Homo-oligomer: A and B are copies of this chain.
Amino acid sequence: MNLKQLSDLLGLSQTTVSRALNGYPEVAEATRLRVETAARVHGYIPNTRARSLATGRAMSIGHVIPISTKHEMVNPIFADFIAGAGEHYARAGYDMHLIVVPDAEEARTYRALAARRNVDGVIVHAPRVHDPRLPLLREIGLPFVVHGRDSGETAPYSWLDVNNRRAFARATGFLLDLGHRRIALINGLEYMDFALRRRDGFLRALADRGIAADPALMRADEMTEPNGYDAARAMLAAPDPPTAFVVSSIISAMGVRRAIQERGLRMGADVSVIAHDDELSYFRNADGAGIPIFTATRSSVRQAGRQAAEMLLSIIEKPEPDPLTRLFEAELTLGRSTGPRREGD
């Protein structure tokens, strides 16, 4: 069933039917009603491609997820972010287009994306420092919103991000308040912008108390469970082990917990851990009773997805001269993984 068939059926012109369906004012209310019921009855739904060819709007948003060719990893927060964004798109009548880009072919892929005009804008995931995608997208003229920020980028752009620096400074400060002095940082890869900010926050909190950071207690790697385990195990086995950990992800924190337990120590009593919790659906940070397992800096990545979608659509639908930005504060939620430094440590 296409527009022509429907309008023939109704004895109206395609123009009138199209207008009726798209809510234009110049069609009589009685006609609109007649058209709408006919459309419903016959299951008429406009062909997206024809429509977007005519309007110039693709009604589709691209999500560009970089696959690090080195590690072949997909960011685990990606699925939840997508789910959040998808909710908003569905409401707004947009489609979601996924573009999996090996970092080697970024430029080519983006140019093709823009030329082929099948998305109205993109969400940029996992920005690095001096991320080449931002100037590229600007040059191409494709609207975009970045999930995260790029400290290396000087020109303004739209982004939303959690206050990573503040969150990690607070987490570290909290551990210092508990008396800890040997605090380790298990971070993500530090060419990722968020990881750099977290590191900054960590270092700043230490510096504020006049404590020198120990490079042996800082590790940056892909945020997997085994990596968390390996890092923590090595540190705990060293001569002057940490009494507390700040960890960039719940996933690596699970590895840290394993290393702690394996050493016969109790998390929360002997060793404290604060993790960053993105509220991933498969790692709800809560025990059966709903009490958080990890003390955590918390910020829902799913919620971020919803907001990113909302921002991008608003930019596309009515472009503003100034870019949109949104900064979330992470909550610091108390769980059972932190406690005062034990005497003698």
A residues sitting closer than 8 Å to B (CB atoms) are 1, 43-50, 52-53, 58, 63, 65, 67, 71-76, 78-80, 82-83, 86-87, 90, 95-100, 111-112, 115-118, 222-226, 229-230, 251, 254, 257-258, 261-262, 281-284, 286-288, 293
Contact = CB atoms under 8 A, between A and B. Distances in A.
A230 B293 CA distance: 13
Contact of A98 (B82, B115, B281): B82
Contacts of A118: 48-49, 95
Quickly give the copy total for this chain: 2
B230 A288 contact: yes
A17 B79 CA distance: 42
A97 B100 contact: no
Given A44-B115, A74-B82, 15 more contacts: A45-B115, A45-B116, A46-B116, A48-B117, A48-B118, A49-B58, A72-B83, A73-B281, A73-B282, A86-B100, A96-B100, A224-B283, A226-B293, A251-B283, A261-B261
Contacts of A50: 53
A73 B50 CA distance: 35
7 tightest CB-CB pairs across the interface, nearest first?
A86-B100, A45-B115, A73-B281, A48-B116, A96-B98, A48-B118, A74-B79
Which of A71, A74, A75, A78 neighbours the largest number of chain B CB atoms within 10 Å of its CB?
A: A74
Contacts of A73: 281-282
Contacts of A90: 100
Nearest to A234: B288
Contact of A79 (B43, B76, B112, B284): B76
Given A50-B53, A79-B79, A282 B98 contact: no
Contact of A99 (B75, B96, B286): B96
A89 to B, nearest CB: 8
Contacts of A72: 83, 281
Nearest to A257: B258
A115 B45 CA distance: 6
A288 B111 CA distance: 40
A63 B53 CA distance: 23
A70 to B, nearest CB: 12
A98 B100 CA distance: 12
B95 A82 contact: no
Contacts of A229: 287
A332 to B, nearest CB: 21
A82 B100 contact: yes
A76 B282 contact: yes
Contact of A95 (B67, B76, B97): B97
B95 A83 contact: no
A283 B100 contact: no
A267 to B, nearest CB: 10
Contacts of A99: 86, 95-96
